[in-house]
């Protein structure tokens, strides 16, 4: 008779945790659409997404896809792309598209590719990230510093040249509303404007290994690292990790939707943060797979998630009640 209450408690506990698990995996409200090599995408390993107007460019491990809202057009080396692995994309206001690869840059303009590498002035062929400043000049994050291109001339910035770039392996670059250039490296962050440099280093070494940078609508800088995500807000730096609600500490992708909600892509799913509360989800409740490599928001507010092996998952949030 003494074992009966213990058995009942065990059953109740199992039921309780079972219900919680089901609740965590419930489908998100809203709708999903999926794209893969089965319905037109050139390759399922998505590395980057660039959306402008109704046009969507998707960079993958094996080529570049353009989606016009109804069909895909695919490009690879036979069409003139400098290399099949597309690491980064940025589109100019005139519609020209810059493409970063491990073997240099391609610019897609007038339906053809123009290629650039070290022989043309690029500081190093392995391109990690791309961004445009307010004058539409190109900033290139590479494995050996930063390259700047104004359409005519190249300038290369490297740590060993005596300036203040904190480290030469630069993983990403963004330009904020004040035209500051932010360079995320494998050993901290450098900020640059008017030949003046500032360095940001974290207390935790893993937090210095930058994977992604993002400028939000309030001109805050979000930094995805191996140890979580940080927000640089003026002189204040706020850190977030799994202890705060992030689904996983390695943050590969960052975006902000039209409602101001931040989205973070990780190896084990996606987390959203509205400034107060966190919500996370995985392949169990909508994603094509858990490893999210890139995130972009289109003009309709749809959230595009690029994944490691299963293409794209596009999420439409439910209409406000």
Query: What kind of fold does domain 208-321 have according to CATH?
Result: Methylamine Dehydrogenase; Chain H (2.130.10)
- The predicted pLDDT at position 8 comes to 41
Nearest residue to 164 via CA among 143, 123, 193, 135: 193
Summarize pLDDT for 131-168 with one digit per residue, the tens: 999 999 999 999 999 999 999 999 999 997 666 899 99
* Greater pLDDT, 317 or 83: 83
SS3 160: helix
- At 21, the pLDDT band (50, 70, 90 cuts) reads very low
Vertex 113: Cα angle to 108 and 114 (nearest 5): 100
- The predicted pLDDT at position 162 comes to 64
Look at residue 276 and tell me whether its pLDDT is greater than 90: yes
Q: Is the pTM of this model over 0.85?
A: yes
Summarize pLDDT for 173-188 with one digit per residue, the tens: 999 999 999 999 999 9
Mean pLDDT is lowest, of 143-152, 202-211, 231-240, for 202-211
Alpha-carbon span 143 to 125, nearest angstrom: 8
DSSP assignment string, 89-135: EEE-TTS-EEEEETTEEEEEETTEEEEE-GGGT-S-S-EEEEEE-TT
Summarize pLDDT for 27-64 with one digit per residue, the tens: 567 899 999 999 999 999 999 999 998 899 999 999 99
């Amino acid at each position: 008779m003494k074992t009966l209450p213990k058995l009942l408690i065990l059953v109740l506990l199992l039921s309780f945790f079972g219900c919680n698990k089901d609740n965590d995996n419930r489908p998100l409200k809203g709708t999903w659409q999926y794209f893969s090599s089965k319905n037109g995408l050139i390759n399922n390993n998505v590395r980057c997404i660039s959306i402008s107007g109704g046009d969507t460019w998707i960079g993958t491990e094996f080529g570049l896809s353009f989606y016009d809202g109804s069909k895909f057009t695919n490009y690879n080396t036979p069409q003139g792309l400098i290399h099949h692995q597309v690491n980064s994309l940025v589109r100019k206001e005139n519609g020209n598209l810059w493409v970063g690869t491990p073997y240099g840059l391609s610019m897609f303009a007038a339906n053809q590719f123009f290629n650039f590498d070290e022989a043309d002035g690029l500081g190093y062929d392995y391109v990690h990230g791309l961004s445009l400043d307010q004058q539409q000049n190109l900033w290139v994050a590479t494995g050996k510093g930063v390259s700047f291109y104004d359409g005519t001339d190249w300038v290369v910035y490297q740590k060993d040249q005596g300036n203040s770039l904190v480290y030469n392996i630069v993983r990403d670059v963004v330009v904020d509303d004040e035209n500051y250039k932010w360079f995320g490296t494998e050993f901290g962050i450098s900020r640059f404007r008017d030949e003046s440099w500032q360095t940001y280093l974290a207390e935790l070494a893993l937090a210095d290994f930058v994977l992604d940078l993002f400028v939000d609508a309030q001109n805050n800088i979000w930094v995805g690292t191996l140890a979580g995500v940080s927000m640089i807000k003026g002189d204040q730096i706020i850190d977030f990790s799994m202890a705060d609600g992030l689904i996983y500490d390695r943050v590969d992708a960052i975006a902000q939707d039209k409602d101001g909600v931040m989205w973070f892509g990780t190896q084990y799913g996606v987390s959203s943060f509205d400034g107060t509360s966190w919500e996370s989800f995985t392949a169990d409740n909508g994603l094509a797979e858990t490893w999210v490599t890139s995130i972009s928001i289109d003009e309709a507010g749809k959230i595009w998630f690029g994944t490691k092996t299963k293409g794209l998952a596009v999420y439409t949030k439910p209409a406000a009640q």
